[in-house]
Structures are given as structure tokens and as C-alpha cells.
Amino acid sequence: MSDLSATYMGLKLANPVILGSSGLTSSAEGVRKAFDAGAGAVVLKSLFEEQLRKELGSVDAGPWSHPEAEAFLSRMGMNEGADEYLKLIDEAKKDGRGPVIASVNCVGEAFWMDFAGRVESAGADALELNLGQVPDNPNEDAAAVESRLERLVRDVRSSVRIPVAVKLGYGYTALGHLIKRLAKAGAQGAVLFNRFYKLDVDLDAMSLSSGPARSGPESYHDSLRWIALLDGRVGAELCASGGVHDGATVLKLVAAGAHAVQVCSAAYSKGYGVISSLLDDIRSWMSSRGIASLDELRGRLARRNSEHPELYGRLQYLEALHTR
């Protein structure tokens, strides 16, 4: 019998496949379905700062207003604030089926310390900080952006004992250094990467429109590269997110060094049951190779274990350049 167990941020998982934060994890029913399908853990839908502001009676979301969150709130017709979210954590934990990771979409700094403590009291096993903002302010340099994120992690860390992960987009300079800094500030995990709302243009209407919400099976390569580059070098355990649609991709990401792997679009496309298919694929590959435990595979192809580290940062298709 293959041993798929994994450890991520000190959480013991039956397997490394986590259902990622999304509408699929916004109810206790969704969480139950995920565990029924065999998920190793679940990340709840993010509570957006705007929801908390609403509860706290703030009218003006100020400079941190988050268009994606506003769109989400109106689309889903959701008004529930912190209390509803804490109730969701409590219900999701009731069955005791596996680790439940809460998620908050942090933008400003002030809101999170108190709420993080309440998330912990409600029974969440860990907290994922969805640092989902695009660093687009031409007047804020990289050092200022990073310092802001670091303060945020440090503040949250100081108010909880449960493990904290940061979920990042890929639009940062010196990503390795940033994660190392966030790990020093107290993040035990880093999720690479979030998938932001895809912006598009409707030429007929000459207006902005939305691109595809879901990833395809070719979308995992950026996550794979960065996990292979950074595993064991930044002080945080890495969790893959983006483009996981089959068991082979989970195995590749684990070989690159991922401690856990999040699935979202595949579950939207094929239903929660896709998790059990992924696990079947993983087990059958492991037994065909005589690999008894997933730990034997983890990090085998990470840069830190390679004799050719230059291959991991290679950006050009050298072979193609030579042959054309």
C-alpha cells in the first residue's frame, strides 16, 4: 500500500492534495465533499477585507479597495462578514475529517491581527494569507512593497499560534528573497501562485472584460520552476497552486519539492471527484515504480539536490536556437 502522507507547515496530511480556496470551499457542504473525495486538506474561500470592513461599518474602503473583491461580493450576493466566516470554520471542522485552512485576503494592515486570533479560536488548523494585490503603484518601490507584506505577516504571526502561509502572485522582484523575508517574519508556508482575475478587452463594446477564470493543464510550469528553484532555500515550505489537473502533475510538483499541491480549476471542471482520480493515478504510478512513500520522491528534482543548478533558471530554448 503506497504511503501518500505529507507534512505541510507542521500539519499532518493523509496526502498532499489540497482543495484550494474558491467557491467550492465556501460552504461546509463543499468541505465535506472535498474530504469525501479524499482531499488531504481544504483551504476555505477567502474572506475579503471588504467583507470585514462592511461588518465594521466602514463605508469607504479607501485606497486599498479591491475591485476583484467587490465584483466577487456583488456576483455572489454575499454580505456575510466575519461571524459567518467563523461559523463556516466551526462547521467545516465539526466532522473532524482533516485540516481546514482559513484564508483571508489581506490588503491593508490594520484589520488582521484581531481577526486572525478569532480564526484560530474558531478552530482553523492554519491560516493562509491571500496577498492578492497587484503591486502597481508607480510611486511605491519594491522595498516598500516587501516591507508592507513583511509587517503584515509579522503582525498576524504575533496574534496566532497556528501555522501561517502566504499565497503570492508572481509579480514580485526577487521572489526568493521576498519569501525568505516573509518566512523570517513567521510564515511557515508559501503558496505559489495565486491565479488572479484575468483581464481582457471586448473590442466590440470597447470595454474591459474577463478572461478565462479557470486554468488549463499547461498552467503548472511557473509553479514547478519556482518550487524547484526555492525548495529548501527560503525557510518556508512550498505549496504548489496553478494548473494541477492530473496525478502526474502532482507527482512532478512533489519531485520539484512541493510539500503540498492545491487543486481548484480541475475540481470546477470535473467535480470534487477529480481529487480521488488524482490520488488513484498517484498510487498506481508509485506502485508501478516500487515507490512506497511519497516522501521518497519529494525534492528529488529540486535545485538544491541538483548537480546542474544552471538548468533551473534557464530562460531560453537553447536547443531550438541552435537548430533553427
Ligand X SMILES: Cc1cc2nc3c(=O)[nH]c(=O)nc-3n(C[C@H](O)[C@H](O)[C@H](O)COP(=O)(O)O)c2cc1C
Q: List residues near ligand X by CB under 6 A.
A: 20-23, 45-46, 103, 130, 167, 194-195, 213-215, 219, 241-244, 262-266
Pick the closer one to ligand X by CB: 193 or 288: 193
The least distance separating ligand X from the CB of residue 214, rounded to whole angstroms, comes to 5
Pick the closer one to ligand X by CB: 134 or 292: 134
The least distance separating ligand X from the CB of residue 48, rounded to whole angstroms, comes to 7
Pick the closer one to ligand X by CB: 168 or 178: 168
The least distance separating ligand X from the CB of residue 270, rounded to whole angstroms, comes to 11
Pick the closer one to ligand X by CB: 135 or 291: 135
Pick the closer one to ligand X by CB: 157 or 167: 167
Do the strands 237-241 and 207-210 form a parallel or antiparallel pair, or are they unpaired? unpaired
The least distance separating ligand X from the CB of residue 167, rounded to whole angstroms, comes to 5
| Whole-Å CA distances, 32 to 24, 28, 260, 292 | 10, 6, 20, 28
The least distance separating ligand X from the CB of residue 293, rounded to whole angstroms, comes to 25
The least distance separating ligand X from the CB of residue 132, rounded to whole angstroms, comes to 6
The least distance separating ligand X from the CB of residue 290, rounded to whole angstroms, comes to 30
Pick the closer one to ligand X by CB: 40 or 243: 243
Pick the closer one to ligand X by CB: 189 or 242: 242
